A and B are shown apart, each in its own frame.
Chain A
C-alpha cells in the first residue's frame, strides 16, 4: 500500500457551480499534505467529501488502495479519518468529556473516557481537563478538544481545516510539534491553509487548488512563498499601496478607560481599554477570537451603551452615552464582523439595506418619517459601481451575494459617506483575495484622506499589511498601541497570550 488516500477525478457540482472539478490527488501515510488555495477554491468541499459530509457528483476515492464510498462522517471515522473543523463542532454547554463522548463509538463510560482524555491529551502536549465546560475555555483549548477527540480514535488520517487561524503564534508552534509527532507515528495529516509560511515550514507535500481544480502538486521545500502565492492566486497578488508618510493629525477617536461588564455567562468583560486613533492613520487591534473583540465593537459602535460619556470620544465630543445613530451623525461609521444578520438583513434587497445604517445620517433617505426608495436605490447603485459588487440581478437580496461581494457592499455603504471615523471588525474574514484587496485598499485610502480608522482583525498578515499602529486585545484588556514597524509576530504572540494583562495601571496609547 503506497497511498493511504487517493482521490481520482473527483467532481462536486452544486447547482451550476463546480466546487471541485476533476480533482486527483494522493496522500501517503505519515505525510503532512497541504491543501493550499484561496477562499472559495474548493478546499473545504474536497475535505468534506473525504470526511463523508458530502458526496462527490462523480469520481472516486480509494482508501488503502481499495475504492470506497464514505456516506457519512461516522463511516469516515470508522475508516480512521478524523477531522478538526475550522468552525469547531463543539457544544458550549457540555463538558470536555461529554463533547468527546459524542464522537466516540461503543460503550458509554464517562469515567474511563475521562481517564483516557487526560492521558492522551498529556502525551501529545495538549492538556485538557475533562470536567471543564467548553463555554469557559479559550479558542485554543477548544481546538485541543477537537484534536484530542480525533486522536482518541487512533486515526490514520487527520484533516485540519485552517487550524492556526484562531491561535497565537506560540500556540501554533505547539500545534506544529504535535502534528509532526503524529506524522512521525505514521498518521497522515491533510492540512488546509492559505498561510504560505507555515505550509513551507510544516508540510511535506502541497496540492494547490484554484477555482475547484488542482493546479499544481509541489514540494514546498523547492518553492518560495511568492511562487506558492502565484500558483494559488493565478497571478501576482495585489499589494496594498499606501503613501505612508507621517501625516497624522488630531485624535479623532479616543477610548478612555473604557469598561463594559460581561453581557451574560459566556461573554468577555472589557477592562480599562484606552486607545487614541488619529486622523490619517490605521490602528489595528490584533488578538485571538473571543477575547473581547465583539464586545469592543459593540461598545465603540454604541450598540451597547457605556457607563460614562467620557469613555468614548469622537472628534472631541464625549459620546459614551449616545447610541449608534448619534455616533453616525457626527461622522462615525461601523462595519461589524457578521455580514448577514448584523451588517445586513439577509432577506432585504441591497437598496433596502442601505437604509439600515444611513437612515438617520442621510436626509435624502428618510423624509418626515417616510423611506425614500428612490434615494436608497441611488446610494445602492453608487456603492455597487464604486466597489464593483458583482450580482445576478439589479437589486438582489443580500443573502444571494457571495461573501466577498456582500462585504464590498457593506464596507462600501459606509465608505460612501466619507466617514471621519471608521471602525471595522474582521474586514476580510472569509472573503476571496480580490475582494480582500479591494477592501484593504479602500480602508488605507480612507485613512490617507484624513479619517481615523480602527481595524479589529485576527489576521496578522492583514494587520501588517495595512496598520500603522497595532494594539493587542486579550481577555478584555488592550495593550499599548505600538508602531507596526516595531512589532514582530513574536511580540504580538506574547501580547496575544496576555503579556500585558498583569499591569494593574491602565495605559493610554502612545503614538
Chain B
C-alpha cells in the first residue's frame, strides 16, 4: 500500500473551510496524547490549556492583548505570502518599530501631548518599514533571497536593541538594568472599556483597535480591489502577473513595507502598553508566531484574526498550564509548531485528494 495524491480538477471549497478546523482538532488529539504520555489526564489538561483562558474577563482581556499584535502582523504576512513574498523577519521589524518609536520618550521624556502618541506610533510604523526595506531593496536590486536576509536582520536588530538598552539609552536611575526609562501618560496607549463592568469589565487598548482596522482594510484590499487581484495573481502565477502588466519589484516593495509597517506598529504598541519601556525581550516571538497565524488563517486577513485568537489561547494556556499542571510553558511553542504542520498537510487536500494504491510489481512479468 502506498499513499499518493491525485490532483483535483478544481480546488475543493469544502476542504478550504474544513482544513483549519481539522488541523486544530488533530493538534488537540496530538496534545492529548502528549499529556497522556506525561501521565496527565488529557481532558483536564486540554481544558486548562485551551478552555480556561476563555473563562474569566481578566483572561479574555489578556487574550486580546496577545491576539492584537499577532493579528496585525499575521494579516500583513498573509498578504505577503499570498503574493509569494517571503518576509520571515517580522520579529526584527517589530523590534525596529519599537526602537524607533521609543526614541521620543528617551530623548524627550518631558514631551507630553497627544502629538507624542501620534509621533511614537508613526515612528513605530516607519521603523518597521525601514527595517523591512532592506531585504526588499536587496531582493530587487541584487536578487538576494529575502527569506535569509530578512531573518538575518532579526538577529542584527535584536543585538542593536541589546546595545541600546545596555548602553546609550539605559535609564541612568535604573540600577544598571538593561532598560530605558519607564514611559508615562501620552507615551502609553490609552485604554477603552469594551464591555461594561456589569458584565465583567473588559478593557482593550488602542492596539486592539488598530489590529481590527488593519485586518478589515487588508481583507477589503485583497477581496475587492485591483491591488489585491494583482497580489494574488503574482502569488499563484508569476508569469501571468507579468503578462497582466504588474511589476514584481513594486509588489516586493509593497509587501515588505506593508508587513514591515504593521510589525513595527505591533512593536511600538507592545512597548507603549504591556511592557511600558524599551528592554530586551519585548515580544515573546510574536513575529514568528504570526507566520503560523498567517497560514492557519489560510493567508486571508480575516482568517488571520481568527487564527490570532487561537494562538493567543495557546500562549495563555501555556502560562496557566505551567501554574496548574506544572508543565513547561514551552509546551505552547511545540503545540504551535505541530499546528502549523497539520494545517500545511490539510491544505494539500484542498487541491489534491488522498488515494491509497496497492503495491505495483517492479519487473515485467510474463504470465504463464
Q: Is the A/B pair a real complex?
A: yes
Contact A399 B10 (CB under 8 A): yes
Q: Which of A68, A369, A397 contacts B364 (CB 8 A)?
A: A68
A168 at the interface (CB under 8 A from B): no
Contact B225 A342 (CB under 8 A): no
Nearest CB on B from A304, distance (A): 9
A79 at the interface (CB under 8 A from B): yes
A78 at the interface (CB under 8 A from B): yes
Residues in B whose Cβ lies below 8 Å from that of A63: 366
Contact B236 A67 (CB under 8 A): no
Q: Which of B225, B228, B360 contacts A72 (CB 8 A)?
A: B360
A375 at the interface (CB under 8 A from B): no
A492–B204 alpha-carbon span in the complex (Å): 76
Residues in A whose Cβ lies below 8 Å from that of B227: 369
Interface residues of A in 309-367 (CB under 8 A from B): 323-325, 328, 334, 336, 338, 341-348, 352, 355-357, 359-360, 366
Q: Which residue of chain A is the closest to B245 with respect to CB atoms?
A: A325
A75 at the interface (CB under 8 A from B): yes
A506 at the interface (CB under 8 A from B): no
Q: Which residue of chain B is the closest to A376 with respect to CB atoms?
A: B229
Contact B226 A359 (CB under 8 A): yes
Residues in A whose Cβ lies below 8 Å from that of B364: 52, 68-71, 75-76, 78-79
A63–B227 alpha-carbon span in the complex (Å): 60
B242 at the interface (CB under 8 A from A): yes
A290 at the interface (CB under 8 A from B): no
- A66-B366 in contact given A355-B229, A370-B226 (Cβ < 8 Å): yes
Nearest CB on A from B12, distance (A): 11
- Please give the number of chain A residues whose Cβ is less than 8 angstroms from any Cβ of chain B in the complex: 47
- A341-B240 in contact given A347-B11, A399-B9 (Cβ < 8 Å): yes
The 7 closest A-B pairs by CB, nearest first: A325-B245, A75-B364, A324-B245, A400-B9, A342-B239, A345-B237, A67-B367
B168 at the interface (CB under 8 A from A): no
Nearest CB on A from B13, distance (A): 11
A303 at the interface (CB under 8 A from B): yes
B244 at the interface (CB under 8 A from A): yes
Residues in A whose Cβ lies below 8 Å from that of B361: 69, 71
A262 at the interface (CB under 8 A from B): no
A164 at the interface (CB under 8 A from B): no
Nearest CB on A from B228, distance (A): 8
A345–B82 alpha-carbon span in the complex (Å): 14
Beta-carbon contacts of B240-265 to A below 8 Å, as 1s and 0s?
10111100000000000000000000
Nearest CB on A from B19, distance (A): 15
Interface residues of B in 197-250 (CB under 8 A from A): 224-229, 233, 236-237, 239-240, 242-245
Contact B11 A397 (CB under 8 A): yes
Contact A371 B225 (CB under 8 A): yes
Residues in B whose Cβ lies below 8 Å from that of A342: 237, 239-240, 243
Nearest CB on B from A51, distance (A): 12
A369–B240 alpha-carbon span in the complex (Å): 20
Q: Which of A338, A366, A396 contacts B226 (CB 8 A)?
A: A366
A301 at the interface (CB under 8 A from B): yes
Greatest chain B CB density within 10 A among A334, A347, A366, A370 is at A370
Interface residues of A in 35-78 (CB under 8 A from B): 52, 55, 63, 66-72, 74-76, 78
A345–B225 alpha-carbon span in the complex (Å): 17
B362 at the interface (CB under 8 A from A): yes
- A356-B224 in contact given A70-B364, A397-B10, A399-B10 (Cβ < 8 Å): no
A352–B229 alpha-carbon span in the complex (Å): 9
Contact A356 B367 (CB under 8 A): no
Contact B236 A68 (CB under 8 A): no
Contact A334 B11 (CB under 8 A): no
Residues in B whose Cβ lies below 8 Å from that of A303: 242-243
Interface residues of A in 63-114 (CB under 8 A from B): 63, 66-72, 74-76, 78-79
Beta-carbon contacts of B283-321 to A below 8 Å, as 1s and 0s?
000000000000000000000000000000000000000
A344–B367 alpha-carbon span in the complex (Å): 47
Contact A334 B245 (CB under 8 A): no
Q: Which residue of chain A is the closest to B9 with respect to CB atoms?
A: A400
Contact B236 A348 (CB under 8 A): yes
- A341-B366 in contact given A71-B360, A347-B11 (Cβ < 8 Å): no
Contact B244 A357 (CB under 8 A): yes
- A346-B237 in contact given A78-B363, A356-B244 (Cβ < 8 Å): yes
A69–B362 alpha-carbon span in the complex (Å): 11
Beta-carbon contacts of B137-174 to A below 8 Å, as 1s and 0s?
00000000000000000000000000000000000000
Q: Which residue of chain B is the closest to A60 with respect to CB atoms?
A: B367
Nearest CB on B from A257, distance (A): 25
Nearest CB on B from A75, distance (A): 4
Nearest CB on B from A323, distance (A): 5
Beta-carbon contacts of A287-307 to B below 8 Å, as 1s and 0s?
000000000000001110000
A75–B365 alpha-carbon span in the complex (Å): 9
Contact B226 A369 (CB under 8 A): yes
Contact B226 A341 (CB under 8 A): no
Q: Which of B239, B245, B367 contacts A68 (CB 8 A)?
A: B367
Contact B366 A68 (CB under 8 A): yes
A397–B9 alpha-carbon span in the complex (Å): 9
Q: Which residue of chain A is the closest to B221 with respect to CB atoms?
A: A369
Contact B229 A71 (CB under 8 A): no
Contact A345 B236 (CB under 8 A): yes
Residues in B whose Cβ lies below 8 Å from that of A75: 362-364
Q: Which residue of chain A is the closest to B228 with respect to CB atoms?
A: A371
Could you list 16 further interchain pairs (A-B, Cβ under 8 angstroms) beyond the known A341-B239, A369-B226?
A66-B367, A67-B366, A68-B364, A71-B362, A71-B364, A79-B364, A301-B243, A303-B242, A324-B245, A345-B240, A347-B11, A356-B240, A356-B243, A357-B243, A397-B11, A400-B9
Contact A400 B245 (CB under 8 A): no
Residues in A whose Cβ lies below 8 Å from that of B365: 68-69, 71
Residues in B whose Cβ lies below 8 Å from that of A371: 224-226, 228-229
A346–B365 alpha-carbon span in the complex (Å): 40
- A341-B363 in contact given A323-B245, A325-B245, A397-B11 (Cβ < 8 Å): no
Contact A344 B240 (CB under 8 A): yes
16 contacts between A and B (CB under 8 A): A66-B366, A68-B364, A68-B365, A75-B364, A76-B364, A324-B243, A324-B245, A328-B245, A338-B239, A346-B236, A347-B237, A355-B229, A356-B240, A359-B244, A366-B226, A371-B224
Residues in A whose Cβ lies below 8 Å from that of B233: 345, 348, 356
Nearest CB on A from B298, distance (A): 14
A78–B229 alpha-carbon span in the complex (Å): 51
